[in-house]
Amino acid sequence: MDLLRAEIANKRKFIEQNNLIDERKKFFKREELNKKIEDEYWAKQNDHYEKKSREKNNFDQSDIKNSNSKDESFYGKTPEEIATIKLKKIIENPSNERSSNETESDERILPRKEVVKRLRERNQPILLFGESESDAFRRLRKLEILEPDSTEKGFRNDFQEAMEKVDAAYLEEIVKSGGSFDSNSDKKRGKNDVKIEEMNTSIDEIIQEAKYLGRQRSNHKVRLDEARRKSDCSIISKFLKYLLELWGRKLNDRNESEKRSTQGRLLTAIYTQTQDYLKPMFKQLTKETIAEDILKHLILINLIDVPEVS
């Protein structure tokens, strides 16, 4: 009941404020109320629009010189030159003159954790002596503008992973041997050898099978075409795996001291990385799902290389 009375009081107050009734007029039409509300709405919108227009005009008049100078400085410049100009402005602006609001906005844009991650990807120190976190963030921005492609993240991480595998195997061998190697350790094989897939074939057999590599295909004889595709995939896979086997045997023929050296572990890591990169292609060759255009180029490469292998 109290809610109803309060609602009636609000309605009466609203009607009195809008002069819809007075001493002589005891009632009003709904149309008059709607028109009154609409007029008030458009009056408020007009005031708001005029206020925004005044603010915009004042802003344009006060900053027109600055905007013209910016346009002139960037006119006809390449993106790299524009980035260099912006970078110079950042460098010329000392850190102690930057407001706390700007520093806080920078930290909100790029958190400290992300700054540390990106600096480490570039092999840069995460914090220099006497440097604040905001200075480190600006240093990262400077590096990203001047050297955007210097991380080489993909290749470096893949190769790092291969090196870590080799180092892990080497450390495991040291632990098992008690941290020492005797003079007869060079005669023991297998500890630092690379993994080799035995093909049990010879280059003469591969050359004999590759005699009709990429040939005898017919668009009219579907079965014959599928048989030749299967044969081509098998020959290419066998030949490439044979080359990997020769490479691996050459690496395994090194003495143990050479395998444990930095250069030796580097060559082992390259071989391991190559094996990982070729796995998807070998899988497609085995399942005969490799794309036709890729298969044609592989056939061309093997036709050139097979006769030269000795």
Is the domain of 249 the same as that of 202? Answer: yes
Is the domain of 140 the same as that of 88? Answer: yes
The two three-digit tokens of residue 195, written as one number: 């993994």
* pLDDT the model gives residue 2: 82
Is the domain of 167 the same as that of 93? Answer: no
Is the Cβ–Cβ distance between 15 and 21 less than 8 Å?
yes
Range of 52's domain?
Answer: 2-73
**Residue 153 is assigned to a structural domain of this protein:** no
Model confidence at 203: pLDDT above 80 = yes
Is the domain of 139 the same as that of 49? Answer: no
Going by pLDDT thresholds of 50, 70 and 90, the confidence category of residue 272 is: confident
**Residue 191 is assigned to a structural domain of this protein:** no
Tokens 């390259």 belong to 270
Where is the domain boundary, 55, 73, 91?
73
Share of the chain above pLDDT 70, in %: 61
Is the domain of 221 the same as that of 127? Answer: no
Is the domain of 304 the same as that of 163? Answer: yes
Is the Cβ–Cβ distance between 144 and 115 less than 8 Å?
no
Please tell me the distance from the alpha carbon of residue 114 to that of residue 272, in angstroms, as a whole number. 31
The two three-digit tokens of residue 132, written as one number: 């604040």
> What total number of domains does the chain contain?
3
**Residue 152 is assigned to a structural domain of this protein:** no
Is the Cβ–Cβ distance between 235 and 209 less than 8 Å?
yes
Q: Where are the alpha helices (DSSP H) in 110-188?
A: 112-121, 133-146, 153-176
Computed from CA positions of residues 226, 231, 237, 243, in that sequence, does the dihedral angle turn out positive or negative?
negative
pLDDT in tens, 104-120: 444 456 788 888 988 88
Is the domain of 68 the same as that of 104? Answer: no
- Per-residue pLDDT, averaged over 287-299, amounts to 84
The CATH number that applies at residue 96 is 4.10.280
* pLDDT the model gives residue 187: 43
192: CB partners within 8 A, 6+ apart = 169, 170, 173, 256, 259, 260, 264, 268
**Residue 6 is assigned to a structural domain of this protein:** yes
Q: What type of residue sits at position 230?
A: K
**Residue 187 is assigned to a structural domain of this protein:** no
85, 106, 108, 140 from 103: Cα distances, Å: 21, 5, 9, 14
* pLDDT the model gives residue 305: 59
Cα 40 off chain centre by: 54
pTM higher than the cut 0.75 = no
Is the domain of 66 the same as that of 87? Answer: no
**Residue 290 is assigned to a structural domain of this protein:** yes
Residue with more model confidence, 210 or 216: 210
Is the domain of 165 the same as that of 298? Answer: yes
Model confidence at 304: pLDDT above 70 = no
* pLDDT the model gives residue 91: 60
Is the domain of 172 the same as that of 272? Answer: yes
* pLDDT the model gives residue 89: 65
Tokens 């897939």 belong to 197
Is the domain of 162 the same as that of 281? Answer: yes
- Give the relative orientation of helices 222-252 and 292-305 as an angle to the nearest 10 degrees: 50
Where is the domain boundary, 48, 73, 98?
73
Q: Mean pLDDT highest for which of 83-97, 215-229, 245-259?
A: 245-259
**Residue 26 is assigned to a structural domain of this protein:** yes
**Residue 189 is assigned to a structural domain of this protein:** no
